[in-house]
Structure 1
C-alpha cells in the first residue's frame, strides 16, 4: 500500500510524530511519503496513495492554517479513501482536558468537510528552551496550574508513543480491509 503522511507543525513535535508514523508504516512493508503542509511541495496528487494520515497540532485552540487548507482542498479525495487524523495538543495529554481536545477535532472536521476514518488525540510537547519570555511564562502557568512539574524550565514531551504505534497498526489494518 502507498501511504501519504501530511503534517503541520509549529514547534516541531508534530513533525517528529509524522516521522515516527512514516517509520512505522515503512517498517510494516508499505511505501510512504511525508509532506509538510506548510511547504510548497505539499501539493501532491492524492490519487497516487491508497491511504492518508494527516497530523496537525493545536495552538490557540486552532489547528494550523496549512492543515485546514489541505484538508478542505482535498476533502473529497480524503473522504474517498482510508484516512486518519492525528490531532496533537497539550489538552490531549491530560484526562480532564481531553473533551476540549476532542472539540478541536470536531470543529476541524466540520470546517473542512473531511470525515477521517480514524482520529487520535495525542499529547504534544512544551519547549521552554525555544519560547520567548512571555510565551514561557504563559506555558509555565498553564502547565503548573494543571499540576505538572514545569518550574525547572526544561522541555517536556507529553506524546504517548505507544498509543501512536497502536493507532498506526489499527489504521493500516482497517485500510487493508
Structure 2
C-alpha cells in the first residue's frame, strides 16, 4: 500500500474538499494523510511514496507560506512522485483553466524553484454567506469586474469534478 501525503494551502476549504475527493478517487491501495502547509513545519518525506500539494488563490496570489514551504522542501519534492494543483475562481472561465493558460500557475512556475511533473488548475467555490464583510465586499467587487456572480446570498461551486477525477488518475500514473 502506497502512502500519500496530501498537503494544502487553503483559504476557505474548497482546496481541502478537492483533496478529499482525490483521496476517494485514489482508492484502497493508497493510505493518505492530509496536512496544512501552514501548520506543518517539519515533515518526514521519507515516510511517503507520493506527495500532492493543493493551493488556493486569494486576491490574486498564492499564499507566501506555500512558496516558503516549497523552497524549504524542494529537494524532497523532487525525489518523490509529486504533483501540484491550484484552485481559483478565474478558472471558472474556459481558456483560464489549464496550467498553460492560468496566470496563477504560470506565476507559480516562474517563482517556484520546484517544477512539478504533474499540474492542474481547478475552479473553486464562491461562498459569499461564509465570508467576512470585508472579504464578501472585495470578492463581490472582483466578481463584478470579471463578469461573475455578485449576489451575496449565494454559494456557487464551480469545481469540475470530472476534471478532478482525470487528474486523480494521472496522479496514480506518476
For the aligned pair, the TM-score class normalised by the smaller chain equals 0.7 to 0.9
CA contact (8 A) 1:101 1:121 kept: no
Name the structure 1 match of 2:110: 110
The runs of at least 4 aligned residues of structure 1 exceeding 3 Å deviation read 96-101, 144-150
Name the structure 1 match of 2:158: 158
Name the structure 2 match of 1:12: 13
Shift of 1:145: 4.2
Shift of 1:101: 6.4
Distance 2:167 2:95 in 1: 21
SS in 2 for 1:116: coil
TM-score by length of 2: 0.87
SS in 2 for 1:122: strand
Deviations 1:126-167 (A, max 9, x none): 111122334323322333444444326211111111111110
Name the structure with the higher helix share: 1
Name the structure with the higher strand share: 2
SS in 2 for 1:74: helix
Number of residue equivalences: 172
Change (3 A) 1:111 1:150: same
TM-score by length of 1: 0.85
Where do 5+ consecutive residues of structure 2 fail to align? none
CA contact (8 A) 1:87 1:121 kept: yes
